[in-house]
Amino acid sequence: MALVHRGWSQGRDRLLDIRAGDTVEAIAGKDKGKRGLVVRSIPATQRIVVEGINRLKRHTKSGAAGNIQGGIVDFNAPIAYSNVMLVCNRCDKPTRISRVEQPDGSFPIVCKQCGEIYVRNES
């Protein structure tokens, strides 16, 4: 019998702890050490799009009807979820996260560096 880890469900995508609006720091790749704001998360492929990290250039041709302008387009490409760490709002350090049960039965995200409950920015 296989053990089912909390957060995983059979036949479904794993829920990501990092969501749009969170600040993350790249820990691997060409942008290692850079910080940025998460634009969106893609749970199906375990990837997230971060503003300012993994920027790519695409050379596009103009459209036949003339409605698409040609040139070089900069865009943020998705980066693997495992290549970034959440930045704590309190201690301002990249941190691993854990979930600790509270008396009311909830499991909020807790910073491993300072031990404080992570509060998401409401934007």
Residue that is written with structure tokens 């790519």 in the block: 56
115 assigned to some structural domain: no
Say if residues 36 and 52 touch (Cβ distance below 8 Å). Answer: yes
What are the distances in angstroms from CA 4 to CA 35, 55, 89, 102? 33, 36, 31, 22
Q: Block means of pLDDT (10 residues each) for the chain, length 123 residues?
A: 53 73 94 95 92 93 79 93 92 89 88 86 63
> What's the pLDDT at 97?
84
Instruction: Assess if residue 58 is contained within a domain.
Output: yes
CATH number at residue 69: 2.30.30.30
Q: What is the pLDDT of residue 1?
A: 46
In which domain, by residue range, is 34 found?
A: 23-89
Whether 105 is in a domain gets the answer no
At residue 35, the pLDDT reads 96
pTM assigned to the model? 0.76
